[in-house]
Amino acid sequence: MDLKTSESPQFDTKIIFVTKNEKPALTDFQADTGEITLRYENGLTKIFCGIGEKNSCTLQTIRNTAAKGIQKVFDLKREQVSVLAFNKSNEPVDGSNLALIEGIILGSYRFSKYKSEKPHEIKKIEIAGEQLNTTEIRRTEIICKSVLYTRDLVNSNASEITPQYLANEALELGNSDNIKVTVLDEKEMDKKQLNLINAVGSGSSTPPRLIIMEYIGDKNNNSKTAIIGKGITFDSGGQNLKPTGHIETMRSDMAGAATVLGVMKALVELKPSINVTGVIGAAHNAIGTNAFFPGDVYKSYCGKTVEICSTDAEGRLVLADAISYSVRNFKPDTIIDFATLTGGVVVALGEMVAGLFSNNDKLADKLFKTGEKCGEQIWKLPLYKEYCDSLKSDIADLRNLSKFKKGTASSITAAAFLREFVEGTPWAHIDIAGTAFNEGTQRGEIPQYATGFGVRLFLEYMLSSENI
Ligand code: BES
Ligand code: ZN
Ligand code: ZN
């Protein structure tokens, strides 16, 4: 897909956004939010996309409607389309054209790798309008294409996306300037006592990796943010094997890692003057004769010992070592981790909103506001002391499952476990178990299966110049 800008539309198929206030006289079209109607006039196909009342139209309205509009172009099997951009006088909200482009790119995603018959492709998309900010459009395009890259990684077979595959993707990024990539294999991790990651990966023939990507956009500044991702390339549950009905989508358990790779890929292309360290704990949680055992105790990288109460609570183990490694070796000012950590977060918040947990209110607030703005919504859950107390073990320092009744507060206690490893660093954990993978049908810019949730949220958080 080729996206260009122009002053005036030149293709026969056009997408036109209309508010209720400026609605042309069309029968059976109220310009309600997301309402779409087609008109054929003098050889032109006009796709009218309703965005409701002008003053209640948000960036998300435009993003979502633009995605539905471009999906109409797919249905019509058109190869080129002009999208009429907003101008200063009819723009419902600041940044409407960027939201429009986000909707167009994110809504154009098709995962066709395993289809014998390739789906229809739109070859040319033209954004037509006066005084378009091409620098901002280019930036939005880079970010959205990184989201598509993240989706591809999550959708692909678990047999292909092994820990070493993720490492190779990182190493490939390492060929660019401004980024240094280091991969630790299982032997190096053994030497460094990254025992929790190694324990989780021990049952697999594809061994675990710790992947580190240091993006340095500002050499004169030592401050940096760490983004850490859960990279379980398949979560069988290990010896605490997952049952049928819960195991089928577990190739998506590396969605946090894919978010980190998507973010780093965008940073390498955007070259902003900031420093970001991406860290991925990658392992295949397999069942097999070498798999780690429930009941055993392991010493983590920071020295705290952990009693394994369930081998299916493996994400927090991998993240604990990845977080400790980041704290001890890179001293980040802020840590943000993305993880498909618990089924509990899907029960609490569904597939539309991710769980947010933090030890720092200012950080949580800024992330929350960024989520509201970019349409990747997150909601904060508490981390009271009682939750931490429930992780005390009789045989070790910590249990990897709380003592609470099974299935209660599981997202919170998982986050409380992670907090044990941040050593006071301002930290936010985003549980994307519900939002990373859409088991239902397409919802505008959110496709079926992998969504790429988190890439835009993190990048907006890092790059937004305004102090939101
Ligand atoms: N990878 C799962 C969490 C998950 C569940 C992700 C559903 C996406 C969809 C995680 O490793 C896990 O198994 N969590 C357990 C924790 C439990 C053993 C405390 C869960 O949520 O059931
Ligand atoms: Zn698990
Ligand atoms: Zn998992």
* Reduced 3-state DSSP string for 297-361: EEECCCCCEEECCCCCCCHHHHHHHHHHHHHHHHCCCEEEEEECCCCHHHHHHCCCCEEEEECCH
From the CA of 408, how far away is ligand 1's center (Å)? 13
Per-position DSSP letters for 214-274, written without gaps between them: EEES-TT----EEEEEEEEEEE--TTSPPPTTTSTTGGGGGHHHHHHHHHHHHHHHH--S-
From the CA of 341, how far away is ligand 1's center (Å)? 6
Minimal CA–CA distance to 202: which of 276, 271, 298, 119?
298
Minimal CA–CA distance to 11: which of 21, 2, 20?
2
Task: Write down the residue that tokens 């029968």 correspond to.
Answer: 27
Kindly report the protein residue whose alpha carbon is nearest to atom 22 of ligand 1: 343
The distance from CA 218 to its chain's CA centroid, rounded to whole angstroms, is 25
Residue 152's pLDDT is what?
98
* Reduced 3-state DSSP string for 268-304: HHHCCCCEEEEEEEEEEECCCCCCCCCCCEEECCCCC
| 418/422 Cα distance (integer angstroms) | 7
Q: Which ligand 1 atom lies nearest to the CA of residue 310?
A: 18
**In this structure, is the dihedral angle defined by the CA atoms of residues 391, 395, 396 and 401, taken in order, positive or negative?**
negative
Quote the DSSP letter at residue 446.
B
From the CA of 250, how far away is ligand 3's center (Å)? 7
Q: Which CATH superfamily is domain 145-466 in?
A: Zn peptidases (3.40.630.10)
Q: Which ligand is located closest to the Cα atom of residue 348? A: 1
**Architecture of the domain whose range is 2-132:** 3-Layer(aba) Sandwich (3.40)
| 90/226 Cα distance (integer angstroms) | 40
Test site for ligand 1: of 342, 351, 401, most ligand atoms within 8 A of the Cβ: 342
Kindly report the protein residue whose alpha carbon is nearest to atom 8 of ligand 1: 433
Strand order in the sheet with 275-285: 179-184, 209-216, 275-285, 225-235, 334-339, 427-431, 354-358, 378-380
Residue 187's pLDDT is what?
98
Is the separation of the CB atoms in 334 and 225 below 8 Å?
yes
* Full-model pTM: 0.98
445 lines ligand 1 (CB under 6 A): no
Q: Which ligand 1 atom lies nearest to the CA of residue 411?
A: 21
Residue 451's pLDDT is what?
98
Tell me the C-alpha to C-alpha distance, in Å, between residue 413 and each of 7, 235, 244, 352, 389. 54, 19, 25, 21, 10
Q: What stretches in the chain show pLDDT beneath 70?
A: 465-468
Tokens read off for 208: 């675990």
436 lines ligand 1 (CB under 6 A): no
From the CA of 411, how far away is ligand 2's center (Å)? 12
- Maximum Cα–Cα distance across the chain: 79
Q: Do domains 2-132 and 145-466 have the same CATH topology?
A: no
Task: Write down the residue that tokens 């002009």 correspond to.
Answer: 82
From the CA of 346, how far away is ligand 1's center (Å)? 10
Kindly report the protein residue whose alpha carbon is nearest to atom 16 of ligand 1: 313
| 179/123 Cα distance (integer angstroms) | 33
Test site for ligand 1: of 240, 242, 312, most ligand atoms within 8 A of the Cβ: 312
CA Rg, the chain, in Å? 23
Q: Which ligand 1 atom lies nearest to the CA of residue 413?
A: 19
From the CA of 54, how far away is ligand 1's center (Å)? 42
Is the separation of the CB atoms in 431 and 355 below 8 Å?
yes
The DSSP element (H or E) to which 186 belongs, if any, is: helix 186-191
Residue 467's pLDDT is what?
39
Report the 10 Å Cβ neighbour count for 123. 10
90 lines ligand 1 (CB under 6 A): no
Is the separation of the CB atoms in 160 and 254 below 8 Å?
no
Tokens read off for 171: 């190493």
Kindly report the protein residue whose alpha carbon is nearest to atom 5 of ligand 1: 343
By annotation, the residues acting in catalysis are: 242, 316
340 lines ligand 1 (CB under 6 A): yes
146 lines ligand 1 (CB under 6 A): no
From the CA of 359, how far away is ligand 1's center (Å)? 22
| Domain regions of the chain by residue span | 2-132, 145-466
Question: Position 289: which residue type?
Answer: T
Is the separation of the CB atoms in 185 and 282 below 8 Å?
no
| 300/319 Cα distance (integer angstroms) | 11
Is the separation of the CB atoms in 236 and 285 below 8 Å?
yes
| 86/95 Cα distance (integer angstroms) | 10
| 354/340 Cα distance (integer angstroms) | 10
235 lines ligand 1 (CB under 6 A): yes
294 lines ligand 1 (CB under 6 A): no
Residue 466's pLDDT is what?
47
342 lines ligand 1 (CB under 6 A): yes
Reduced DSSP (H G I as helix, E B as strand, rest coil) percent helix, strand, coil of the chain, to 5: 35, 20, 45
103 lines ligand 1 (CB under 6 A): no
401 lines ligand 1 (CB under 6 A): yes
Number of C-alpha atoms within 13 angstroms, CB side, residue 10?
Answer: 7
The CA-based angle 11-72-440, given to 5 degrees, is: 150
Q: Report every protein residue that has its C-beta within 5 angstroms of ion ligand 3.
A: 232, 235, 253, 315
253 lines ligand 1 (CB under 6 A): yes
Residue 24's pLDDT is what?
81
Predicted confidence (pLDDT) per residue in 155-186, tens digit: 999 999 999 999 999 999 999 999 999 999 99
The CA-based angle 425-431-434, given to 5 degrees, is: 170
From the CA of 286, how far away is ligand 1's center (Å)? 14
Q: Report every protein residue that has its C-beta within 5 angstroms of ion ligand 2.
A: 235, 312, 314
315 lines ligand 1 (CB under 6 A): yes
